[in-house]
């Protein structure tokens, strides 16, 4: 059951990712990337990480995709939003791939899956508020600073 689900989701995600990498029009590529995001969320669900999967949909489909699409829309003029082929992109892609392969080969995989309690939202909240409270506060501060910075950038200057 879960092997079949894995194959179906993998095909779906890869199709979305390949379409995102090869589509000539940028908006189409951005919309295909959304399919890949949904596929990754489905993987999280399959692995039992319900909360992470939901946040993946929430953040990536709801916010990041809209951000990408608007960036494309507001920075290009008219119909010339097509793209060519760039060797720089190929080099970066190969470098990332090699890095990932290196990381995967150097990871020790134990045969038996470790027994862990199901990860509930409650536990994530408790851990965030106890062990990781300082990182959480730092992220909050950073985001607030970013928000205020964005407001200052777009605010009209008063004379």
Q: Where does this chain bind other proteins (CB under 8 A)? A: 1, 27-28, 31, 34, 50-51, 54-55, 57-58, 61-63, 65-66, 69-70, 73, 120-122
Nearer to other proteins, 15 or 54 (CB): 54
CB of 111 to other proteins, least distance (A): 26
Distance from the Cα of residue 158 to its chain's centroid: 39
Q: Measured between alpha carbons, how far is 131 from 101 in angstroms, rounded to an integer?
A: 32
Nearer to other proteins, 95 or 126 (CB): 126
Nearer to other proteins, 15 or 69 (CB): 69
Nearer to other proteins, 73 or 138 (CB): 73
CB 117 within 8 A of CB 49: no
CB of 112 to other proteins, least distance (A): 24
CB of 87 to other proteins, least distance (A): 29
Nearer to other proteins, 101 or 148 (CB): 148
CB 131 within 8 A of CB 123: no
CB 37 within 8 A of CB 57: yes
CB of 109 to other proteins, least distance (A): 28
CB of 122 to other proteins, least distance (A): 7
Three-state SS for 69-117 is HHHHHHHCCCCCCECCCCHHHHHHHHHHHHHHHHHHHCCCCCCCCCCCC
Cβ neighbourhood burial of 65 (10 Å; 0-12, 13-18, 19+): middle
């Amino acid at each position: 059951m879960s092997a079949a689900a894995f194959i179906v989701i993998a095909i779906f995600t890869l199709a979305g990712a390949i379409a995102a990498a090869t589509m000539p029009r940028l908006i189409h590529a951005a919309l295909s990337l959304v399919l890949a995001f949904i596929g990754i969320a489905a993987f999280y669900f399959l692995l039992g990480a319900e909360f992470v999967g939901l946040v993946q949909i929430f953040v990536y489909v709801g916010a990041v995709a809209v951000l990408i699409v608007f960036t494309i829309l507001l920075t290009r003029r008219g119909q010339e939003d097509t793209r060519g082929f760039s060797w720089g992109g190929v080099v970066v892609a190969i470098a990332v791939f090699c890095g990932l392969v290196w990381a995967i080969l150097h990871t020790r995989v134990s045969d038996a899956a470790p027994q862990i309690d199901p990860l509930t939202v409650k536990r994530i909240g408790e851990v965030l508020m106890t062990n990781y409270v300082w990182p959480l506060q730092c992220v909050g501060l950073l985001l607030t600073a970013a928000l205020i910075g964005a407001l200052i950038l777009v605010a009209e200057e008063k004379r």
